[in-house]
Chain A
Amino acid sequence: MSADASDLSLVRRVQRGDKGAFDALVLKYQHKLVKLVMRYVRNPAEAEDIAQEAFIKAYRALPQFRGDSAFYTWLYRIAINTAKNAVVSRDRSPVEYDLDRNNNDESYDMQGRMKDSETPEGLVLTDEIRSTVNAAIDALPEDLRTAIVLRELEGLSYEEIAAAMDCPVGTVRSRIFRAREAIDRRLREVFEGGLGRAEELG
């Protein structure tokens, strides 16, 4: 199996002018990228802004991407540089809450949470999504749960999981798919209900 084949096929489509393929790449990596950027900035909203900027930079630089490295590795570097630059420019500019930050770390955390509070339904929904997924994983049969956790948490390949679980690669593929299907059924309900609730709030 060629590593990064799926990303590369999406990247090639973007390079040929298909913006929808880039959308798929953003959907796949947005959480990873935000998590990565949060090593540099503590505010989730700011991390999202930086991640957004990194994605846009990556899109504009995609004509130069030749596939020598994995797409995520390349994207990772762009995100790191964007985050570093953002931190430098923020430190150079006068920040009103710097004094508060020195006096009381909690107030800095509050600044970050205040930005989040701009979308309170978002926070509620995030917690709901998290608890729903965790509950769905707990409800999975042992073999499905092990397969999906080895894949998502440990990052093992299907072949490695097959060796660990002593089963064919095809079985691993089927187990991971069935696990995702079971979780996705529950998750869809939350999204549909959550979106409905958000509309009511709006």
Chain B
Amino acid sequence: MNEELDSQLSAMFDDELLPAECELLARRLSRDEYLKARWGRYAIVGAVIRAERGVRLNAPLAGRVNAVLLAEPALAAHTAPRDRSRAPVRWWRPLAGAAVAAGVATVSILWLRTQAPLSGAPLVTQLAAPGQTTLPTAAASGQGDSYVVPRPRPAAVAVPSTELANYVVAHSMFSTPVARRNLLSAFMTSESAGAGTEEPQSDVKAIAQ
């Protein structure tokens, strides 16, 4: 027998062998009857040195335990059913995940394509704020870069009020006649445009609720 192997066995018996070497030797020890017998004799030597009186050094205890355990299933068999049921899941789980991700990506691309104009207008136009109006005709003609014209937002229009009108009139001395005229003109225009869309009662309703 290899002396180095026996030396490793002695070190392993004393828990003085490197874990990686232990793994290899444990595998061999569990199968090699010669090594196992030597291992058993090392234990006997230790028992004699420690003067373990009353202990039968040739007791067939290991054989008796082994005989009982022969009738029992190996430990791995206890967990085998669970492992078997989980094993397929383990290998196809990443594939399923990848398939779902790919499906989501495909649907997203298709959806974007159906939303996009056939002309292939730049995406930035499509993603413009909802409150903005696009001019697809200019883009479609290919005559220049697309651009966005802000739609007059009802919410953005200042609600004209008597206070604002009074403020403008009161401070008219600080503005030029042209500016004053423009401001009042804009004021009149916005008031007439927003008159039909305002919902001044909404806040009141909310509070009442």
Contacts and interface: CB of A to CB of B under 8 A. Distances in A.
A137 B47 CA distance: 13
B26 A27 contact: no
Contact of A122 (B6, B15, B58): B58
Interface string A139-165: 000000000110111000110000000
B68 A180 contact: no
Which among A5, A60, A129, A173 has the greatest number of chain B C-beta atoms within 10 A?
A: A5
Given A3-B15, A15-B76, A133-B45, A28 B39 contact: yes
A83 interface: no
A40 B10 CA distance: 32
Given A23-B36, A177-B10, A152 B50 contact: yes
Interface string A42-67: 00100110011001100110110000
Contacts of B40: 27-28
B75 A176 contact: no
B29 interface: yes
Contact of A30 (B11, B12, B31, B61): B61
Given A122-B56, A129-B57, A180 B45 contact: yes
Question: In which size bucket is the chain A interface?
Answer: 35 or more
Contacts of A180: 10, 42, 45
Chain A facing B: main interface SS:
helix
Interface string B68-83: 1110101111110000
Interface of B is mostly: helix
Contacts of B59: 30, 34, 48, 122
B26 A10 contact: yes
Contact of A62 (B46, B52, B75): B75
Interface in A1-44: 1-10, 12-24, 26-32, 34-35, 38, 44
A184 to B, nearest CB: 5
B55 A44 contact: yes
Contact of A52 (B13, B29, B39, B65): B65
25 contacts: A3-B15, A5-B19, A9-B23, A16-B76, A17-B74, A17-B76, A20-B29, A20-B36, A26-B65, A27-B36, A28-B42, A28-B43, A31-B55, A34-B52, A35-B47, A51-B61, A52-B64, A55-B61, A56-B69, A122-B59, A125-B57, A129-B48, A133-B44, A153-B49, A177-B11
The 10 closest A-B pairs by CB, nearest first: A17-B76, A20-B30, A17-B74, A31-B47, A21-B30, A133-B48, A27-B40, A9-B26, A9-B22, A152-B49
Interface of B: 6-7, 10-19, 22-23, 25-27, 29-31, 36, 38-50, 52, 54-59, 61-62, 64-66, 68-70, 72, 74-79
